[in-house]
Amino acid sequence: MKKKLVGSLVAVAMIIGLVGGCGSSGSPAAADSGAGEGAKTEQSKDNEAADKGGETSVKLAGEEDGGEKRGYRFTWVNPIVGLEYWSIAEEGMAAADEKYGTDTQTVGPTEINIDEQIKQIDAAVAAKVDGIITMALDPEAFKPAIDRAVDAGIPVVCIDTDAPDSKRQYYAGTSNFDAGMEAGNKMAELTGGKAKIGILMGGINAANMVARVEGFKEAIKEFPDMEVIVTEDSNADLLTGTQKAQAMMQTYPEMNAVFGTSSTDAQAAGKVAEEMGVVEDYCIIGFDDMEDTLQYIRDGVVDATTVQKPYEMGYLGVELLVQTIEGNGPAEQIIDTGVTIVTKENVDNYK
C-alpha cells in the first residue's frame, strides 16, 4: 500500500528508540542504547570526531587544542551496557579522553534498571570522581542522585535524555519532539499524506519515547488522511517488538505504516513484513542507525530511520565536564546534537 502510494516520491527514509533524545518531561525515558567495558580506545579523537559526525557544530567556549594530560577521572553511568547505540557514544567519550587526557570508566546494568543506575551514581560520588555522565531514564527518579552529586562538588552532564529539573550542569542530546516531527514529516511525504499508522514505542511511558510520538503526531495532524490506529510497547527489545509488530499487522489489516521510536522497532516491523510477504504494503520509519536497520533500508524493507548522534553526545559529555571543572563551559546549558533522516538515497554516505 505504502509503496504504491509513494510512486515517484522520495526514496525510503528515516527515530531509536527508548530508547534513547531529550527527556523534557518528568516521565521515564527509554534506555535505547548501550556500551562496553569502559570508554577507552586507541583511536585519534580528532579524526574520530570528523569521521563519526564530528565534534559538536557548536563551538564550545574555551575549547582546548589537545595534548594536555589533566588526569580527571570520570564515570559514565550507562543505562544498558553492551547496547550498540551506547557503544558508539563510548567511542566519542574515548576520543575526548584522548584529547583532554581524561579517564572515563563505564558502569551500569546490562538491562533497564533505574535503581541500579542511581546506585552507580551514588557510588561514583562516594569514590570522589571528578565528574559524572549519565542518561536520565526517569528524570524525576534521577533528580535526587544528580543533585547529591552536584552538592558534593561533582559536575554532572546528561546525554541523550535530560533531567531538566535537576542541578546537572549540561545536557547534550536530541530534541526528541523535533526528531519525532521530522519522522512524521517524512512519513507524510512517503505516503502522500494517507496512512493508517501503528506505533511501536520503546517504553510506553518513557520520556524520550513520549516526546518522539508527540512530535510525530504534531507533524501528521495537518493531514486528515493520516491516523494513528494502534500503539504498542516494544520495551526497546527486538523480540518483543517483533511479536507486537506481528500482532498489529494481523489485527489491523487496514494498517499500512509503522513508526518505531526505539533502535530495534524498525528492525522488528521490517522483519515481520518481510516474513509475511507484505513489504510493499507498508511504510516503515524507525530510529537510530543500527546496522540491521541500515541493511533493511538498502533492501527496501524499511523506508527511513531518524539517526541521532550518540558519538557526538559521548564526546560532548567528556568535553563539557572538562570545561565545567576548568570554568570555561558554554553559556547554553542545552546542546541539541540534531538528527539526520536516512533513506535509501543517502544510506551509504550520510555520515
pLDDT digits (tens, 9 = 90+) for 227-247: 999 999 998 899 999 999 999
User: What is the per-residue pLDDT for 30?
Assistant: 64
Q: What is the spatial distance between Cα 92 and Cα 314, in angstroms, rounded to a whole number?
A: 5
Kindly state whether residue 349 falls inside one of the protein's structural domains.
Answer: no
Kindly state whether residue 270 falls inside one of the protein's structural domains.
Answer: yes
Are 51 and 162 in the same domain? yes
CATH code assigned at 72: 3.40.50.2300
Kindly state whether residue 27 falls inside one of the protein's structural domains.
Answer: no
Distance (Å) of CA 224 to CA 101, 193, 217, 221, 227: 55, 8, 12, 7, 8
Are 160 and 82 in the same domain? yes
Are 271 and 325 in the same domain? no
Q: Which residues contact 246 (CB under 8 A, 6 or more apart)?
A: 272, 276
Kindly state whether residue 70 falls inside one of the protein's structural domains.
Answer: yes
What confidence category does residue 32 fall into, taking pLDDT thresholds of 50, 70 and 90? low
DSSP code of residue 11: P
Q: Which of 38-42, 192-196, 206-210, 237-241 has the lowest mean pLDDT?
A: 38-42
Are 226 and 103 in the same domain? no
Are 302 and 181 in the same domain? yes
Are 135 and 225 in the same domain? no
Are 208 and 268 in the same domain? yes
Kindly state whether residue 33 falls inside one of the protein's structural domains.
Answer: no
- Containing domain of residue 65, as a range? 45-174+309-336
Kindly state whether residue 31 falls inside one of the protein's structural domains.
Answer: no
Are 184 and 265 in the same domain? yes
User: What is the per-residue pLDDT for 61?
Assistant: 35
Question: Number of structural domains, the chain?
Answer: 2
Are 106 and 249 in the same domain? no
| Beta strands 170-173; 131-134: pairing state | unpaired
Kindly state whether residue 76 falls inside one of the protein's structural domains.
Answer: yes
Are 181 and 301 in the same domain? yes
Task: Give the count of alpha carbons within 13 A of 166, CB side only.
Answer: 32
Are 147 and 197 in the same domain? no
